[in-house]
Structure 1
Amino acid sequence: MDEIRLSVSAADQLSSATSSAIEQKHEKIGGPAARRRRNRILIILLVVVLVAAGVFVFFRWVRPMFAPLYKTTFLIDSAEGDLTSVMNTLSAVVGNSGERDSQSLRSFGGECGADDNTKQLVEFGTGNRKQIADAARSVRQGTKATLQRGIVEAVGDFTSGWSQNAKQVNRIIVVTRHGKDACDPDDEFVQTQIRDRVAAAGLTIEFRFIGYQVSGDREHLRKLTTQLGTQEPTFTDSPDDLKRVLDWYTITEPVLRSSQSVVNVLNPTVDKLNAATAALKDGRFDTAETAVAAARNAVVDVEIKDLDGRTSSEAAVRLRDMAVSLRSLQAAVIEAAGTLLDAARSGRNLTEPLAVYSKAAEAYNAKAQEMTGELTSLRSKGPGGTS
């Protein structure tokens, strides 16, 4: 039988092929190249997880920290009438609004059933006061007053785009020269649409209606506000009156609101401290300690910061200074209450710490009374206000 022999070159080729096959197998199973591929995949997955976590943290906790207190849409009637006065007034007033407010501009007026009979001219955003003023001056005259469709679409604006929800107040300020919608005779149906749109938005939206040179059909506008559950419209006949009322809703009302919030937060805590001093006489230290802790947790920084952003208004400057003073005086009351509590626990004589506390409380109460009087006076100057 012939002996089977391999030449040297053939043996080398076989050995090389076998080694290559083994190396490829190793790469597939767990060689360096495979490990590098796995590491790259793991790194990519880790990056994706970290990015997703960062996005979640941003939208869940970071972004809401910068949300505006107020979110306001100006809804303006562009149908027949004195459009120039309305737009000039809005341009002047919006320039003095809160710098941290998120605001937008929408107009209504056009042909019934047309897609463009209401338009959002400026989307929600902060720092866009000049943009709104410029857009207002460029609004063109419409034909028919499509009031109710304007309201429906304005409500929808609150949930469209990337605009953040307001921390405190969502509102639509309507300036119209027509009390009745020109295209939708079925008021009940449209008002149901408005209420449904508000409910679907999951928000509480306040309405402020200003009727400018409205004649003959004012009752329809009153009926609309009643069905929307908001305050009655304010009617104005002159550009000066229009400016006064629009200025009130845009600038003064938020000042009044933030200032009142400061009083509403701080006054009850001082009342609790006053009750705590009486509890100390009976040895009820736990009651006093709870009151002091509650007072320390009464924070009004957000409200004061809002007033800081409205310092173009004289009322805002005055009330902001009062609010800061009230907060400082409350801090003095809390410190005096803490000293009094420590003295009571140690069994020391309470005459001196009680006198210090009483003096601090009297100073706070005097400033609180002054601020309350200022708020009452300011409120009386508003639409429908009484002294």
Structure 2
Amino acid sequence: MSTGPRTPEPDAAHPAVRMKGRASGQGRVYQAGGDMRLFTLAVPPSIRTPVLVALVLALLVGGGWVLVKWVRPLFAPAYKTQFLIDSSLASGGPAAVADSLRTAVGNAADDDALALRSFGGECGVSENTRQLVGFGTGNREEISQAAGEVRWGGRPTLVRGVVEAVDDFSKRLAWGAGQHGTRVNRIIVVTRHGTDACEQDPAVVQREIHDRLESAGLKVDFKVIGYQVPEAERERLRQISAGIRGDAPVFAADPARLTAALEWFTNTQPVLQEARKVTDVLNAAVGQVEAARAAIEDGRLDFADDQLDRAGAADIGAALEALKHRATTPQARDIHRKARRLYSQQRRVVQSGRDLLEASRDGRSRDGEFAAYRAAVVTYNQQADALKRALDALRATAPGG
């Protein structure tokens, strides 16, 4: 009996996953599949290393594509916001801006990607605008602290600050911080001045901003707040805002109005936007159910079936989820609850329409199903009116221009 080392027996359970090699005049021969001989590949020694390197690179590139295409978007923020504040403020301004910013940031959604940039300094100097905090989620404390440590002074360099803030959105960093917002990208500007100390040609600035947005392939919303801007400079600020394709500026005369304006743009307006998406989709779906009901009355059952399928496919999951994350105040939480109830009632309307259609196909009396359908629609309309009133009340808190 031999006592030497034994050759391991083949793994019969996995015959197709073994690799074995043998010497060859053409180099080493790699055979996949063991005895099954799925394929045989002769690799000459001169190209063996390049081939292996190419295979490794292909795996790395392929894996990287999967990360960029499928995994990385899972980390993308819904809302991406950069605050751009005027650091050339006169006395009395810095504390108010920092306090208002802390309030707005403190109420922001947890998954918002936030950043902070300041502008103010001397013309032609790169330091006349600085990104104080880069984009990221969970950085509210960092932004609040940075706002209180801003170096105040210098001349207003608003336009250069806007240009660089736009450029910040085009920078491709890791994971969510470097991605565009899936729902909104925005720059919220707080300025004490209606003029720019360095840029006098708005057309040049407009082209530069447009080119940068085009190259980045994204849309950015601009919100401009003029804090204690002199009356003589307000028209110029309106022109600058229009030039960067922003909304008309909101002017705040005191710290309380500044806080309200920042809170509105940062948190309240997004609640209204997401709630409107919910109501638009649900109301359209209920309209399709009503079209199905009329078609049933006319005997057009196939058309009714199609309309009910469309109504049942109404998807507001993303909007409801975004609304849930934004519900950081009592009013916003109430709106989210009402929107969720409205969605549930819309599903009941669709089901009652289905019941009506099935009764028609079976040739049964539709009286009971029709009564249930009308009751479901009445309840839906009542809940829709309640949500509309809540949204109107929240909309009424918008700061004046």
TM-score grouping bracket, smaller chain normalisation:
0.7 to 0.9
How many residues were matched structurally? 361
Using structure 2 for the length normalisation, give the TM-score. Answer: 0.84
Q: How many angstroms does 1:47 deviate by?
A: 5.2
CA distance in 2, matches of 1:65, 1:285: 41
1:194 matched to 2:209? The reply is yes
Q: Which residue of 2 aligns with 1:29?
A: 26
Change (3 A) 1:43 1:282: farther
Identity of aligned residues (%): 42
1:176 matched to 2:191? The reply is yes
Q: Which residue of 2 aligns with 1:153?
A: 164
Match for 1:194: what amino acid?
I
Change (3 A) 1:228 1:39: closer
Change (3 A) 1:178 1:348: same
8 Å Cα contact 1:329-1:363 kept in structure 2: yes
Q: Which residue of 1 aligns with 2:298?
A: 282
Tell me the alpha carbon deviations over residues 202-253 of structure 1, each in whole angstroms, 9 at most, x when there is no partner.
2221111101111131111011123333321111121111101111111101
CA distance in 2, matches of 1:292, 1:65: 32
Comparing 32-41 with 305-314, greater Cα deviation is found at: 32-41
Q: As a proportion of its length, which structure holds more helix?
A: 1
Comparing 59-68 with 170-179, greater Cα deviation is found at: 59-68
Tell me the alpha carbon deviations over residues 156-193 of structure 1, each in whole angstroms, 9 at most, x when there is no partner.
11111321111221111000001000112223322332
Q: Which residue of 2 aligns with 1:116?
A: 127
Map 1:197-236 to 2 at 5 A.
197-215=212-230, 216-236=232-252
The one of 314, 318, 330 aligned to 2:330: 314
Match for 1:270: what amino acid?
V
CA distance in 1, matches of 2:77, 2:338: 23
Tell me the alpha carbon deviations over residues 310-343 of structure 1, each in whole angstroms, 9 at most, x when there is no partner.
2321222011101110111111111111222122
CA distance in 1, matches of 2:193, 2:86: 8
CA distance in 1, matches of 2:300, 2:50: 64
Q: How many angstroms does 1:99 deviate by?
A: 1.2
1:107 matched to 2:118? The reply is yes
Q: Which residue of 2 aligns with 1:6?
A: none
CA distance in 2, matches of 1:98, 1:26: 64
Q: Which residue of 2 aligns with 1:18?
A: none
CA distance in 2, matches of 1:39, 1:277: 71
CA distance in 1, matches of 2:132, 2:172: 14
Change (3 A) 1:145 1:355: same
The one of 364, 368, 376 aligned to 2:392: 376
Q: How many angstroms does 1:50 deviate by?
A: 4.1
8 Å Cα contact 1:255-1:315 kept in structure 2: no
1:62 matched to 2:59? The reply is no
Match for 1:142: what amino acid?
G
CA distance in 2, matches of 1:229, 1:27: 70
CA distance in 1, matches of 2:80, 2:190: 17
1:80 matched to 2:71? The reply is no
8 Å Cα contact 2:202-2:243 kept in structure 1: no
CA distance in 1, matches of 2:381, 2:89: 54
CA distance in 2, matches of 1:353, 1:265: 25
Change (3 A) 1:194 1:49: closer
Q: How many angstroms does 1:304 deviate by?
A: 1.3
Tell me the alpha carbon deviations over residues 40-62 of structure 1, each in whole angstroms, 9 at most, x when there is no partner.
98776555444433322332233
Tell me the alpha carbon deviations over residues 96-116 of structure 1, each in whole angstroms, 9 at most, x when there is no partner.
111111111110001111111
SS in 2 for 1:309: helix
1:323 matched to 2:339? The reply is yes
Q: How many angstroms does 1:32 deviate by?
A: 7.1
SS in 1 for 2:271: helix
8 Å Cα contact 1:169-1:205 kept in structure 2: yes
CA distance in 2, matches of 1:30, 1:181: 72
Q: Which residue of 1 aligns with 2:35?
A: none
Comparing 286-295 with 190-199, greater Cα deviation is found at: 190-199
Structure 2: runs of 5+ lacking an equivalent = 1-21, 31-41
Structure with the greater alpha carbon radius of gyration: 1
8 Å Cα contact 2:260-2:399 kept in structure 1: no
SS in 2 for 1:178: coil
Using structure 1 for the length normalisation, give the TM-score. Answer: 0.87
SS in 1 for 2:372: helix
Match for 2:315: what amino acid?
V
Q: Which residue of 1 aligns with 2:284?
A: 268
CA distance in 2, matches of 1:188, 1:47: 50
